[in-house]
Amino acid sequence: MKHKLQIIVVILILFVAVKADAGPYTEAGINGYIGDNGFHANPLPPIEGGDPNAVINPIFRGWATGFRNYLPSDKQWSGNWNDANKALGPATGNNFDIVSLGDLDTAEITDGCEPGQITLVFGDPCNPGDPNHIRNVKGYDFVVFENGSISGYNTSGGPVAGQMFSELGYVEVSSDGNHFVRFSAVSLTPQRTGPYGTIDITNIYNFAGKHPNAGGICTGTPFDLTELAGQPEVVSGVVDINNICYVRIIDIPGSGDFFDNARANTDPNTWPNYNNYDSNHPVYDAWVTWGSGGLDLEAVGVLKEQEYSGDINLDGIVDFYDLELMVSDWLGYWGQYEGWLKRSDISQPRDNKIDMRDFAVLAGQWRKKEVWRK
* Buried-state track 294-314, b at ≥16 Cβ within 10 A, e below 16: bbbbbbbbbbbbbbbbbbbbb
What does the mean pLDDT of the chain come to? 91
The residue with greater pLDDT, 356 or 16, is 356
The count of domains in the chain is 1
Residue 4 in any domain: the answer is: no
Residue 184 in any domain: the answer is: yes
| Rg of the chain, C-alpha, whole Å | 20
Residue 104 in any domain: the answer is: yes
pLDDT given at position 161: 82
Read off the pLDDT of each residue in 351-364 and give the average, rounded to a whole number.
Answer: 97
The string of pLDDT tens digits covering residues 61-94 is 999 999 999 999 977 677 789 999 999 999 998 9
Bridge partners for 297 per DSSP: 99
The string of pLDDT tens digits covering residues 180-221 is 999 999 999 999 998 889 999 999 999 999 999 998 899 999
Residue 242 in any domain: the answer is: yes
Pick from 293, 294, 296: which is nearest to 77 by CA? 293
Q: Tell me the pLDDT band of 160, cut-offs 50, 70 and 90.
A: confident
Residue 103 in any domain: the answer is: yes
Q: Which domain holds residue 143?
A: 60-305
Pick from 206, 199, 189, 203: which is nearest to 166 by CA? 199
Of the chain, the percentage scoring pLDDT greater than 70 comes to 93
Residue 31 in any domain: the answer is: no
Read off the pLDDT of each residue in 241-267 and give the average, rounded to a whole number.
Answer: 97
pLDDT given at position 165: 92
The residue with greater pLDDT, 244 or 51, is 244
| Residue 276 phi, psi (nearest 5) | -75, 165
Of the chain, the percentage scoring pLDDT greater than 90 comes to 77
Pick from 182, 137, 195, 167: which is nearest to 252 by CA? 167
The string of pLDDT tens digits covering residues 311-348 is 999 999 999 999 999 999 999 999 988 788 999 999 99
Please state whether 193 falls in left (phi above 0), alpha (psi between -120 and 50) or beta: alpha
pLDDT given at position 331: 93
Residue 75 in any domain: the answer is: yes
pLDDT given at position 35: 87
pTM value is 0.93
pLDDT at 14 over 50: no
pLDDT given at position 333: 95
Residue 316 in any domain: the answer is: no
The string of pLDDT tens digits covering residues 282-319 is 999 999 988 889 999 999 999 999 999 999 999 999 99
pLDDT at 17 over 50: no
Could you tell me how far CA 297 lies from the centroid of its own chain? 13
